[in-house]
Amino acid sequence: MAPPPEASDPAYVTGAATLRSAKHTARYSKARKDDPGPVAPRGALPAEVMETCVISYDRSVHDLAPAVARLLKRAGPAVGSWPDPDRCGDLEDFVVPAQSLRDSKAGSCDEAQAHLADVVAADESRGGLLQSFDAFVCERVLPELKRRLAACGALANEHEPVRFWYQRPPTLRLQPGPSTRFVRAHADADYGHQHGELNFWMPLTCQSRTKTTIWLESEAGAGDYSPLDIAVGQVALFHGTSRRHHVPRNPTSSTRVSIDFRVGVEGYFDPGWSMKGTRADHSRMQVML
């Protein structure tokens, strides 16, 4: 199927660029200046582990798209629908109502995001998103991360046990178009994320159709943003706590759908810390591998 042309009349011109399944917020707190910060016995993550890379996976084993499609159909009209309401089509064809992305002051965006977050968090059934996500993280992501830790000497070898904390549920993001809205450049440290955790970003829709991906700087403060060249069947690892990243507007009539999550590494990550002023932080699953 040929990618849709750019539209001259954007359908999304106000409110948020994306609808996301996260209630996480970070507000200013006067106590923040006295916050001692996280305790990381081993200091900063090794540079080799923080290096941006793309990890491929077998879609016949770890395809999360069908579970996401079923979840979106259950989520109802506040989150969106397909043109044919009786069937789940391609994720690119999913339509998010413009009113559900209105500015938070108007209420709709907060309400739709909270509803989507609740639907994702409740999807524990067999074959549901969370079961599929757990398998993907534990069978593909964490073993690869452990391999990278051993390769740079952070572990004696790949058999040495190490503890991880991965974000669960993950964040599901829907970015419809054509839109004038975009996600501004930011580093996740601005929102209370620690140096000892890594970002994973997993597209579920084709970049050739949505013309949209994450843009990431090469190192903290460089400002030399370049797009992540990543396809369905791959997940990108990057250090979003320090490296600023942004998402440009979606110029097409297709919706960009992605999943992202973070993983904290034992010795570098403090599971008991949260930045003063942070509300409804992401929950974590602890795994020893």
4-37: per-residue pLDDT in tens?
Answer: 445 557 899 999 999 999 866 656 566 666 677 8
On the question of pLDDT at 68 being above 70, the answer is yes
Strand partners, 179: 12
What is the distance between the alpha carbons of residues 74 and 101, in angstroms, rounded to a whole number?
A: 19
Cis peptide before 178 (omega within 30 of 0): yes
In CATH terms, the superfamily for domain 47-269+279-288 is q2cbj1_9rhob like domain (2.60.120.620)
Q: Alpha helices of 33-107 — where are they, by DSSP H?
A: 47-50, 65-75
Distances (CA, A) of 117 to 144, 169, 247: 28, 9, 21
What is the distance between the alpha carbons of residues 170 and 167, in angstroms, rounded to a whole number?
A: 6
Q: What does the pLDDT read at residue 113?
A: 92
Cβ contacts of 137 within 8 Å, gap of 6 or more? 166, 261, 263, 287
In the chain, where the domains are located: 47-269+279-288
121-180: per-residue pLDDT in tens?
Answer: 999 999 999 999 999 999 999 999 999 999 999 999 989 999 999 999 999 999 999 999
What is 190-216 written as a DSSP string? GGT--TTEEEEEEE-S-HHHH----EE
